[in-house]
Structure 1
Amino acid sequence: MSAYGFAHLRDRRPHPEILEYLERIQDTLDPFAGRFVIHGPPVEVVEGEWPGSMVLLEFPTLERARAWYRSPAYQEILHLRADHIDGDLLLIEGVGPDYDPRERAAKLRAQSRPR
């Protein structure tokens, strides 16, 4: 099951270390088959507010995503971004190709019935 690293980056401050981070991050992703799906383009907000930008990484599994984040190679460069961009990073497992939100609704409905 694919997994994702989702980053909401706010308050970006240009700095030479950010450029170094960008130059080095792909080498940390490659051993874990990680790839960029979204990398910070302006977003079109159609509901609510979205301050900042978005990054979405894809990995083959949640275990690979966790291993990437904890890897010495990524930990070595993490400060290059974190020292200059405030944000949040989440690792989350995706849904499979057969996912049906109606099934989820049925399960939630069954859980909410009084017993």
Structure 2
Amino acid sequence: MPKGYILAHITVTDPEAYKEYVIKDTPILEGLGGRFIIRGGQSEVVEGESYERHVAIEFPSYQAAKAAYNDPAYQEVMKIRHRTAKSTIIVVEGA
């Protein structure tokens, strides 16, 4: 069965307040089967436009990734990200 992923492209606008999001989202998403495989780090835009930070979270399946994103606990914590960053979030099935 193909794995599922949550891909996040983020530009943090309030770094100090964003720390709360990272502290709170990590245990929720890991508890729902997620494994952070990319989280920040060095990057370079070689084509197109981009955000400053990139995150990839692997899940056992596409359905598990969608369920994690829609989980009520995560949806509550997500409000912190909305206040402290600009982002694009994509749920995708792996090959």
Instruction: Give TM-score, length-normalised by structure 1.
Output: 0.73
Q: What is the aligned partner in structure 2 of residue 58 from structure 1?
A: 58
Q: What is the aligned length?
A: 94
**Gap runs ≥5 in structure 1:** 96-115
- Contact between 2:9 and 2:50, CA under 8 Å: does it hold in 1? no
**Gap runs ≥5 in structure 2:** none
Q: Does 1:74 align with 2:85?
A: no
Q: What is the aligned partner in structure 2 of residue 113 from structure 1?
A: none
CA distance in 2, matches of 1:15, 1:87: 14
Q: What is the aligned partner in structure 1 of residue 7 from structure 2?
A: 6
User: Rg: which structure is higher?
Assistant: 1
Cα shift at 1:90: 0.3
Q: What are the superposed Cα offsets for residues 72-99 of structure 1, whole Å, 9 maximum, x if unpaired?
A: 110110011111111100000000xxxx
CA distance in 1, matches of 2:67, 2:41: 26
Corresponding residue SS for 1:20: helix
Corresponding residue SS for 1:46: coil
Corresponding residue SS for 1:69: helix
- Tell me how large the CA RMSD over aligned residues is: 1.6
Instruction: Give TM-score, length-normalised by structure 2.
Output: 0.86
Alignment of structure 1 residues 92-111 onto 2, 5 Å: 92-95=92-95
- Greater strand fraction, Structure 1 or Structure 2: 2
**For residue 46 of structure 2, what is the amino acid of its counterpart?**
V
CA distance in 2, matches of 1:46, 1:76: 34
CA distance in 2, matches of 1:37, 1:5: 10
Cα shift at 1:14: 2.5
Percent identity between the two aligned chains? 34
